[in-house]
Structure 1
C-alpha cells in the first residue's frame, strides 16, 4: 500500500506544495468530449459548438480532431492559473 502525501512534498522545488506539482502531470489539451463533460454537455452538443466556433472556451483544430486547452476550461470554471497565483504571492 502506498502512503498518500499529507502536505508539502519534501523534494518539491521552491517549497511548491503537492497541488502545484500535480498540475504539471495533467495534459495540456483534452478532447472536446472530455471538456464538454466537464462543462455539463453531451458529445453531440460539444462537437456542434466546436464546429460552429461557439464552444465556451478556446478549441484547437488539429487535422480532423478538436483539442481543448485545459487552461481554457480551468479559467472558464474559475480556477486560477498556478503561474498567476505565484506572481500574486510574490508581490
Structure 2
C-alpha cells in the first residue's frame, strides 16, 4: 500500500512554481509586450488581477493560470509516481 494513496497537491505546488510572478513573466505568458502590459495595468485592463508591491506589480500564479485557461488541478501522488515510472520505462509496475 502506498503511503500517499489519498494525498493530493496542487499542480503548481507539486512542481515548485512560485505563488506569484512579476510583470515581465506575466506579460510574456500572456503574449503582451512589457510596455503594453504596464499600460493595461494602469488603465485597469490587465487580463488578470494585479497587486502593487512598492513600485512593482505582481500577479498571483493561480490568477495568471486562470487567465491563460489553465486549471491548477489537484494531482494525486499515486498518479504522479505512476507517470514517473512510465517515463523511466518501468511501465510493468502500472496497475
Establish whether TM, by shorter chain, passes 0.5: yes
1:80 aligns with 2:44: no
Match of 2:53 among 62, 66, 70: 62
3-state DSSP of counterpart to 1:45: helix
**In the alignment, what sits opposite 2:88?**
none
- Structure showing greater Rg: 2
Higher relative contact order, chain-length normalized (CA < 8 Å, sep 6+):
2
CA contact (8 A) 2:11 2:73 kept: no
Alignment match, 2:19: 28
Q: TM-score, normalised by structure 1?
A: 0.65
Q: Distance in 2 between matches of 1:81 and 1:23?
A: 6
Alignment RMSD, CA only?
A: 2.6
Counterparts of 1:29 and 1:14, CA distance in 2: 28
Listed as ranges, the gaps of 5+ residues in structure 2 are 77-95
Q: TM-score, normalised by structure 2?
A: 0.63
Q: Which runs of 5+ in 1 are unaligned?
A: 1-9, 87-91
Query: Which structure carries more strand by proportion?
Result: 2
Could you tell me which of 6, 10, 15 is aligned with 1:14?
6
